[in-house]
């Protein structure tokens, strides 16, 4: 059945899957946000234990989504994988280190003989929460502001003339970290702002998740208290970033010549030229705001649902405007023509078809995740439950 699709349609289909994984990942970063709130919400050891256990039952979803996001990106757009990971080495390494130290922290924190002490593992969780969210946000922002790299596929055979057999080369010695201080078009401002927006979004979602699933009045009250300020900061950063995005010069592709050029208000045009994406965005934004309103002013426990789904939809549309409608999703500011598009960076048609069949498993996977999640979250988590659990973190 996927054989009937054109190459471009397959590339679009795979961009949709990458976008969905990216959007789910941003939502699931609530675990990271929560890890930066352990001490500001939990005032006693017992309270912190509840928070850590409630996050500890979800961290693997975030982690696995990140790994799958990487794997799916590799399989469908390998040129992105080689160019970005091999080039922005330090950004990705920093992100990976932040996740390495997270993976052991829940399990080891309270174990006898853990060598570093509980406090160190809590610091690890904090670092993961802080760096994981900010750096991922910053990295995604470069999809719109560009990076300095070159791509020359001829290097593989023409190395005697080009001096190197490696096709992708980063043009700064900072290997991606320069995203934090690139002055051109105030890119640094845009990148850092999205990083911070993601960080405060993660905290906002975490607080809403606590309100929904903790059976402990004081923790819930404190979460509500903290939610106001975190949600407000998130909205400021996000709106600043988003409005600037709509005003920016974007990286457009001429559909005939495949030439990349700068187009003023490109991302605004993309929303307007793809009404479905615009509608998704509006639903997403309303969802986020409505969820926040429900949590803050209507004393509802279910704000996380609206904010969560709204987050997924909004991020989805951000990926859509980055890659669809003749746009370069990973632009090179070093040489515009080296920018990556979903057409020039994708796998072969054969591989995309094969992988599309694999993607049919995704609804099945989502179904059992929903089943497990519902079973595990059927009742709120209380002090008694955490204390009685032999495997509690």
What's the min distance (Å) between Cβ of 8 and other proteins?
15
What's the min distance (Å) between Cβ of 273 and other proteins?
29
In the window 154-213, what residues touch other proteins (CB under 8 A)? 154, 156-160, 163-170, 173, 175
User: Residues, the chain, total?
Assistant: 393
Q: How many residues bind other proteins (CB under 8 A)?
A: 81
Q: Phi and psi for 239 in degrees, rounded to 5?
A: -65, -40
Residue pair 164/155 in contact (Cβ under 8 Å)? The answer is yes
Select 103 or 286, whichever has its Cβ closest to other proteins: 103
Q: Which stretch binds other proteins (CB under 8 A): 75-83, 130-138, 195-203, 250-258?
A: 75-83
In the window 364-393, what residues touch other proteins (CB under 8 A)? 365, 368-369, 372, 375-376, 378, 389-391
Q: 384 burial class (0-12, 13-18, 19+ CB within 10 angstroms)? A: exposed
Query: What are the DSSP calls for 16-67, one per residue?
Result: HHHHHHHHHHHHHTHHHHHHTSHHHH--SHHHHHHHHHHHHTTHHHHHHHHH
Select 206 or 248, whichever has its Cβ closest to other proteins: 206
Residue pair 172/149 in contact (Cβ under 8 Å)? The answer is no
What's the min distance (Å) between Cβ of 66 and other proteins?
8
How is residue 263 annotated by DSSP?
E
Select 96 or 235, whichever has its Cβ closest to other proteins: 96
Select 64 or 264, whichever has its Cβ closest to other proteins: 64
What's the min distance (Å) between Cβ of 156 and other proteins?
6
Among 97, 126, 240, 290, binds other proteins (CB under 8 A): 97
In the window 109-128, what residues touch other proteins (CB under 8 A)? 111-116
Residue pair 32/129 in contact (Cβ under 8 Å)? The answer is yes
If one asks whether residue 276 binds other proteins (CB under 8 A), the answer comes out as: no
Q: How far apart are CA 327 and CA 322, in angstroms?
A: 6
Select 157 or 247, whichever has its Cβ closest to other proteins: 157
Among 5, 12, 16, 81, binds other proteins (CB under 8 A): 81
Q: Which stretch binds other proteins (CB under 8 A): 37-45, 54-62, 187-195, 328-336?
A: 54-62
Select 9 or 64, whichever has its Cβ closest to other proteins: 64
Residue pair 260/339 in contact (Cβ under 8 Å)? The answer is yes
Select 60 or 218, whichever has its Cβ closest to other proteins: 60
If one asks whether residue 279 binds other proteins (CB under 8 A), the answer comes out as: no
What's the min distance (Å) between Cβ of 303 and other proteins?
24
If one asks whether residue 107 binds other proteins (CB under 8 A), the answer comes out as: yes
The encoded tokens of residue 153 equal 């596929």
What's the min distance (Å) between Cβ of 160 and other proteins?
6
The label of the residue with tokens 């409005």 reads 243
Among 5, 57, 180, 278, binds other proteins (CB under 8 A): 57
Select 103 or 189, whichever has its Cβ closest to other proteins: 103
Select 173 or 275, whichever has its Cβ closest to other proteins: 173
- Compose the 320-359 pattern: x for residues touching other proteins by CB under 8 A, - for all others: ---------------------------xx-xx--xx--xx
**Cβ within 8 Å of residue 328, ≥6 positions away:** 251, 252, 253, 260, 339, 340, 341
Provide the H-helix boundaries in the chain.
Answer: 7-28, 30-35, 38-41, 45-56, 59-76, 78-80, 86-87, 89-108, 118-145, 159-162, 187-213, 217-247, 266-273, 275-297, 303-323, 349-359, 361-376, 383-388
Helix (H, G, I), strand (E, B) or coil at 97: helix
Q: How far apart are CA 222 and CA 206, in angstroms?
A: 12
Q: Which stretch binds other proteins (CB under 8 A): 78-86, 213-221, 232-240, 318-326?
A: 78-86
What's the min distance (Å) between Cβ of 29 and other proteins?
16
Tell me the C-alpha to C-alpha distance, in Å, between residue 346 and each of 11, 82, 153, 257, 360: 7, 12, 14, 18, 19
If one asks whether residue 259 binds other proteins (CB under 8 A), the answer comes out as: no
């Amino acid at each position: 059945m996927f054989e009937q699709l054109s190459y471009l349609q397959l590339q679009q289909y795979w961009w949709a899957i990458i976008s969905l994984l990216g959007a789910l990942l941003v939502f699931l970063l609530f675990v990271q946000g929560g890890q930066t709130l352990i001490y500001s919400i939990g005032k006693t050891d017992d309270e912190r234990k509840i928070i850590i256990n409630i996050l500890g039952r979800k961290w693997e979803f975030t982690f696995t989504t990140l790994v799958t996001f990487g794997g799916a990106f590799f399989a469908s757009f390998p040129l992105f994988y080689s160019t970005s990971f091999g080039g922005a080495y330090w950004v990705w390494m920093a992100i990976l280190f932040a996740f390495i130290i997270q993976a052991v922290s829940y399990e080891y924190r309270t174990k006898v003989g853990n060598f570093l002490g509980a406090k160190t593992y809590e610091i690890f969780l904090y670092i993961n929460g802080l760096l994981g969210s900010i750096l991922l946000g910053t990295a995604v922002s470069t999809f719109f502001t560009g990076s300095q790299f070159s791509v020359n596929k001829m290097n593989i055979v023409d190395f005697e003339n080009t001096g190197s057999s490696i096709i992708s080369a980063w043009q700064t010695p900072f290997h991606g970290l320069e995203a934090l201080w690139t002055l051109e078009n105030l890119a640094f401002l845009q990148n850092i702002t999205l990083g911070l927006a993601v960080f405060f979004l993660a905290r906002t979602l975490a607080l809403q998740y606590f309100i929904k699933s903790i059976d402990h009045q004081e923790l819930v009250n404190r979460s509500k208290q903290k939610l106001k300020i975190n949600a407000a900061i998130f909205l400021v950063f996000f709106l600043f970033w988003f409005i600037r995005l709509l005003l920016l010069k974007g990286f457009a592709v001429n559909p005939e010549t495949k030439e990349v050029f700068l187009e003023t208000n490109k991302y605004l045009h993309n929303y307007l030229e793809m009404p479905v994406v615009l509608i998704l965005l509006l639903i997403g934004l309303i969802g986020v705001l409505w969820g926040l309103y429900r949590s803050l002013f209507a004393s509802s426990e279910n704000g996380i649902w609206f904010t969560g789904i709204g987050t997924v939809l909004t991020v989805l549309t951000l990926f859509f405007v980055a890659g669809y409608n003749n746009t370069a999703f990973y632009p090179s500011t070093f040489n515009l023509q080296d920018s990556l598009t979903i057409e020039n960076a994708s796998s072969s048609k054969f591989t995309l078809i094969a992988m599309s069949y694999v993607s049919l498993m995704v609804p099945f996977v989502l179904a059992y995740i929903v089943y497990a999640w519902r079973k595990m979250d059927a009742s709120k988590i209380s002090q008694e439950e955490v204390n009685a659990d032999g495997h509690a973190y």
